[in-house]
A and B are shown apart, each in its own frame.
Chain A
């Protein structure tokens, strides 16, 4: 309201508002979580996620039962989506307010007080490198100090809304050097994200980098998500852990537009190397075929019932 009144006062001499074609181009360079999050058909799963993939107890495979691997895929999708949304929430904040400073090839939002970290300010700087290429940085500082990059990225725009190719990184180690990050494993030092949104299938890569040589249950997580124009998709993630039974576990899932899909998970490194499980599920997310290699091996259903999803 105060800003509005100020604006009205200023109107006596100048215009007021955020009407800018160029601002849109700068905003277009910032990633939007809804563009990068995976869209897996079906309701949210209650299954456990990635951190519990290795060594957990599994119920016997049953045809017609709800697919456990679909649930795992869904849970992983939800987890990664949550991480992405959390990372990009600050960027979302600036979308609804005009830049604080406009220069010919730069837009700056801030500095604003960081409400979660008293005494700190943050700002977002978007720079145009050339007609297509932009870089951006989310910067923080202790009030009075110089800014450091908490996150930064780049984007190469192509024709269309948020169509292009980009990458960004969250520098957790750098942030942690200035203030604590409760709820985030201290070993996690960096999250790197790459994305391609100008051609199908859309692709999002995430890489979680952990501190090397420290005792931890997770040491590296990789994630790749694909999405086709018809909303069929695929997801591949791998988890490197310190558990001796399953040091590297890889899971791949694909699904059709109607939700039917298939997934496989395999222990690539560790005592149980070679152990794997495969499942196909129908559009109701129930197992139509399944095969697991542990506990003496088991196969249920008919593999011919598995959906065929190509193009990934």
Chain B
């Protein structure tokens, strides 16, 4: 029999807790070599909208499992935006290693995580598809003692609803279980008829976010510093349903199924062993605490219970901690040092207005929405040519101009730009017997380009290609010499860094490197470098 937590939420959840707590230890009853395949794919091919956080969720889970899950980096694989064939190839490699380990007498486990699109009974990995049934069958037959598969995808509950999964024969809670188990556990982020939702505020999908928070320590209901699968699932289920209950897409119900034999506790992460992160003392105020990273995304949530200490395993770094009260925020900085637990004290937090919420208002959905920005730029164009007073052809000049960018026009992070600028400078030309020939140089340049932007955070780098049209002219002080002009298409590369000043204003520093063909007297290959600063305004809703 296959149980579906969505179909019978209350009873099923209790039953799952019981059952999973009875599962064989993931390392508890002897050394288990763990392998992990973590897959994230934002793209789902035709008739799907790119996801914003699937890859990030995968990275997050990968980091947690490697850091806290007892998985050696060499035994873990992270596939981002790869195809179905790549996934199967990687899975095959892990199966081979697991089989080899088993031949060496080791117990093995395979952890499979997928975040991305699923539709019509298949995972959608870009333009490729991976049928859920075949994947499930593959996992069921994988040469490992225990296989755990977690799917964070729309309608992924179809996996747990489908037939063919054998129910475990015994699920009694045995805290001292010693019997090794063999089997398959599948968790999904949503039921068979539900969408899995992402959130800009938390910077990920609800399910993966809460699963991650739970694995970092907040799901440690037993307080033993070890997060079991049952604890993690129960935590993620409860928080996901709660967070999505009022969403426009409706509540999202994670599901599970298992096909197991044996008993024992199945530990996914061990935050006690790591001893690195933050700790909330038992006396700390109850309620929700948020740990925010430097990009303004929530990396962990803590549901602090009165009188209980809570420990969250975080990698070294500086974090912002936030508590939300009815009338204000309590915000503070905390530094996590390597190998140390930093005690978090509410007294170190300061009252802050809601407008200064460290969780950035510009969510990824907004960042990656299609929208225009317009900017005013100042540019110095330096031509790689001999100075004109030494016989060169083209001078360098300052320019001012305007730039318009249609962000995410060609897809997430791919923007289309159009720009124009004008500049002028004076100089003297020496060529042959002509000496000290004073001239006024004028440049008009228009261009269009394709940029790849990484707009998240305060500093957003971008690179791209640009095709410019340079319209140059020079007028000589001597009226009898003709005005000279030169127009040429100039292909080039663009790179830069944008600093977000406010939600809508940004200042960017940009470098362009262009090719300049000269072919009037003779063919010469020049280049020019443009150094620019641009103040832009983004028209985002």
Contacts and interface: CB of A to CB of B under 8 A. Distances in A.
Interface of A: 7-8, 11-12, 14-25, 27-28, 32, 34-35, 95-98, 102, 131-132, 157-164
Contact of A95 (B393, B431, B481, B488): B481
A7 B469 CA distance: 12
A11 B480 contact: no
Nearest to A18: B484
A146 to B, nearest CB: 28
Contact of A21 (B431, B469, B487, B517): B431
Contacts of B520: 15, 17-20, 23, 98, 102
Contacts of B485: 17-19
B432 interface: yes
Given A131-B432, A160-B435, A161-B478, A22 B484 contact: no
9 closest Cβ pairs, A-B complex: A15-B488, A19-B486, A157-B433, A17-B486, A21-B431, A17-B485, A25-B432, A159-B435, A19-B484
A28 B519 contact: no
B474 interface: yes
B372 interface: no
B489 A11 contact: yes
B256 to A, nearest CB: 61
A20 B474 CA distance: 11
Given A15-B488, A16-B486, A21 B480 contact: no
B518 A15 contact: yes
A160 B480 contact: no
Contacts of A157: 432-434
Contact of B480 (A15, A19, A95, A163): A95
B521 A28 contact: no
A131 B487 contact: no
A28 B433 contact: yes
B347 to A, nearest CB: 68
Contacts of A32: 480
B488 A27 contact: no
**Majority SS of interface residues in chain B?**
strand
Contacts of A158: 433
A18 B486 CA distance: 6
B444 to A, nearest CB: 13
A132 B472 contact: no
A102 to B, nearest CB: 6
Nearest to B484: A19
Given A24-B431, A32-B480, A102 B521 contact: yes
A21 B521 contact: yes
Contacts of A97: 482
A35 B479 CA distance: 12
B58 interface: no
Given A15-B488, A18-B520, A24 B436 contact: no
B479 to A, nearest CB: 8
Contacts of B436: 160
A19 B482 contact: no
Contacts of B434: 21, 24-25, 28, 157, 160-161
Contacts of A95: 480-482
B482 A18 contact: yes
Contact of B488 (A14, A21, A163): A14
Interface string B469-508: 1001010001011101111110000000000000000000
B521 A22 contact: yes
Nearest to A158: B433
Interface string B420-447: 0000000001011111110000000000
Nearest to A14: B519
A164 B431 contact: no
A20 B484 contact: yes
A154 B435 CA distance: 20
20 contacts: A8-B487, A11-B469, A12-B489, A14-B488, A15-B486, A15-B519, A18-B486, A19-B518, A19-B520, A20-B521, A21-B431, A21-B434, A22-B521, A24-B431, A25-B431, A28-B434, A34-B480, A98-B520, A102-B521, A161-B437
Contacts of A102: 520-521
Given A22-B521, A96-B482, A15 B431 contact: no
Contacts of A16: 486-488
Contact of B393 (A7, A19, A34, A35): A19
B437 A22 contact: no
Nearest to B516: A15
B391 interface: yes
Contacts of A15: 486-488, 517-520
A242 to B, nearest CB: 39
Contacts of B489: 11-12
Contacts of B518: 15, 19
A164 B139 CA distance: 92
Nearest to B477: A161
A21 B429 contact: yes
A11 to B, nearest CB: 5
A103 to B, nearest CB: 10
Contact of B482 (A11, A27, A159): A27
Contacts of B472: 17, 19
B521 A23 contact: yes
A159 B484 CA distance: 21
Contacts of B486: 15-19
B431 A159 contact: no
Contacts of A25: 431-434
Most A CB contacts (10 A, CB to CB) among B434, B478, B486, B519 go to B434
A124 to B, nearest CB: 14
B427 to A, nearest CB: 13
B508 to A, nearest CB: 29
Interface in B397-440: 429, 431-437
Nearest to A19: B486
Contacts of A22: 431-432, 521
